[in-house]
Structure 1
Amino acid sequence: MNKHSIFQKIIKKEIQANILYQDKIVTAFDDIYPKAPVHILIIPNNIIKTANDINIKNKSIIAHMFFIAVQIAKEKKISQDGYKIIVNCNKHGGQKIDHLHMHLLGGAKLKALY
């Protein structure tokens, strides 16, 4: 039996999500548990489990994810005041779904993590 993650179901439009952007490489959608006024997830359409799984063959996907995040930040009018782009890796890094994803957060003054 093929069990799809929630992200795979969003990519395939098997479940409802507010998709803001989708192309052959990535999908971007509103986080259902936002931590900021703007909280968008950008995910690769092909599964890369964690940041540790970035390799020579898929490294260009990460650049595309960043490019799309910046474009969305501009569209959401958070680029001038600032925003965060966060990628969690594995359990201790806060990753909850085994599908690499980037958080774009903004729309308010955000606390530094250091």
Structure 2
Amino acid sequence: MSDCIFCKIVGEEIPARVVRSTERVIAFHDIAPAAPTHIQVIPRQHHANLAEVTAADPSLAGEMIAVASEVATGEGLDQTGWRLIANTGRNGGQEIDHAHVHVLGGKPLGPMLGG
């Protein structure tokens, strides 16, 4: 999609600090990190959200999670713990309509949901 920021990162139209890349998945540092380590893991092919990826290609969803785990280990988060988040839809907190998961760590992250 021509107006999708993540598609532009995949197409190298927008620079990103890539930490892992496979034929189908790319992982890069978030530009507005919510934790000391905050990495996005996205499929190279455009899918609106993780539910769409899972319906279209369950193995791709699995690869995204596997890459997230590899990235967490590579960043040393396996020693202290990390969080994997997939926001889907507006009520789920999704801000970019391209499937992605967040790898967060590097500090205690507290409870999952407040209030």
* Partner in structure 1 of residue 101 of structure 2: 102
TM-score for the superposition, normalised by structure 1: 0.92
Q: Which runs of 5+ in 1 are unaligned?
A: none
Q: In angstroms, what is the RMSD of aligned CA positions? A: 1.2
**TM-score computed with the length of structure 2 as normaliser:** 0.92
How many residue pairs match? The answer is 112
Match runs of 1:46-57 below 5 Å: 46-53=45-52, 54-55=54-55, 57=56
The question of 1:70 aligning with 2:66 is answered no
Q: Which amino acid aligns with 2:10?
A: I
Q: CA deviation at 1:12?
A: 1.0
- Point out where structure 2 has 5 or more consecutive residues left out of the alignment: none
CA distance in 2, matches of 1:97, 1:74: 26
Instruction: Please report how far the alpha carbon of residue 50 of structure 1 lies from its aligned counterpart in structure 2 after TM superposition.
Output: 1.5
Structure 1 outlier segments of 4+, above 3 Å = none
Please, which moves more after superposition, 20-29 or 101-110?
20-29
In structure 2, give the amino acid aligned to 1:108: K
Aligned partner of residue 92 in structure 1, secondary structure = coil
SS at match of 1:61: helix
2:89 corresponds in structure 1 to: 90
Conservation of the 8 A alpha-carbon contact between 2:42 and 2:101:
yes
Identity within the alignment, %: 35
Q: Which amino acid aligns with 2:20?
A: Y
What amino acid does structure 1 have at the position aligned with 2:2? K
List per-residue Cα deviations over 1:14-66 (Å, max 9, x = no partner): 111111111211010000010000000000111111233121x4111111111
Any conservation in 1 of the 2:26–2:41 contact (CA below 8 Å)? yes
